[in-house]
Structure formats: C-alpha cells, structure tokens
A = this chain, B = another copy of it.
C-alpha cells in the first residue's frame, strides 16, 4: 500500500490491495482480500468483508456493510446505511436445525452493482441481483428484482418510476426518445428499458 492511501487512525485495514488516492474513514473495517480501486471514498462505520470488490472512483457513504459476494464496478455511489444481503433464507449457522444449510457455500448469492449506478440511503437489496449501469435505487427502496440500466426504482417492492442519465438527471421521453437537459446525451426506448444513442 502506498503513502497515497489515507487511512484514519481508528480504521482497521487488513487489505493491501487499495488503490492510490483512496480514503478510508473513521471506525471502518476493511478485511483482508478486499480489493478497492483508485480514488475511492470509503465512509465511516463501514465494514468490507473478504471477497468484496470496489471499483475505482466509487463513493461509499457512512454506515455501509458489504458482504462476501458484493461487487461494485467503477464509479458506483452508495448512499448511507444501504443494506446488502447474500443469503435468501438465512438462519443462524449456529442453530443445529440449520447446520445442513451451512455445510457448503450453496447459500451464497452475489450482487453486482454496475458502473456508475447509485444506491440511495437506507435502500435494501435482496440477494442475487444485478443493478445495471447508471441505474439509480431510490432512498428506502426494497429491491427484489434486477434493475435495468438507467432505471430509477423506488418503493417496497421497488418498481421503475423514471429513467436517468449518466449524470443522474431524470429524462423526459417524447416519442420514444429523450435528450438530457444537463448533458445533451440522447436516449431511445429499447426492449426492457432505454439505451443511450449519443
């Protein structure tokens, strides 16, 4: 690890695979075998379990707990206190009646948050899902199925309510196409969602 990584004195960092320019804040624990890219901000009171991957340029606000099986691609935003999961029908592994479930790793489901996506504060993600590129999960949403690229989902269970640009701005579709008022990027309706056309 280089001198270009900032680690708060109260943080516990056991990984040596942390990119240049990344900052790790107070009271956070990064286990060994975690990979974090360059120029990330990992907030306070976080926990990153062995096996987690965080892409470059990501921002993880305070109070996030990332379990084995959680993969964040580049430029992801996690608002505060997002709840990830990796087991669909969890029991205490110390409960004798559940011993069989935890003999092997078949219970473990992965979640992938693709590049540029955002997860709002306090959102909850069921295990085994993909949040596609530049999607946005609203604060407090409970996500029970995959989220298409550029979709904004809210509610419990979460449903698509809007579409958003790469910059985060909501898109207004007219006759199956939209132009972002902030960026000028253009989008068209596509099968199962929208696609960027320029």
* Interchain residue pairs A-B with the least CB separation, the first 8: A124-B140, A83-B122, A75-B95, A140-B142, A89-B168, A57-B94, A97-B166, A59-B92
Nearest residue in B to A185 (C-beta to C-beta)?
B97
Which residues of chain A in 102-147 are interfacial with respect to chain B, using CB atoms and an 8 Å cutoff? 116, 118, 120-122, 124-126, 134, 136, 139-140, 142
Choose from B26, B65, B124, B167 the contact partner of A63 (Cβ within 8 Å): B65
A39 to B182 CA separation, bound complex (whole angstroms): 46
Copies in the complex: 3
How big is chain A's contact interface, by range? 35 or more
Q: Is A178 an interface residue (CB 8 A)?
A: no
Question: A94-B58, A97-B167, A101-B167 known; A83 and B156 CB under 8 Å?
Answer: no
Q: Is A69 an interface residue (CB 8 A)?
A: no
A79 to chain B, nearest CB (A): 6
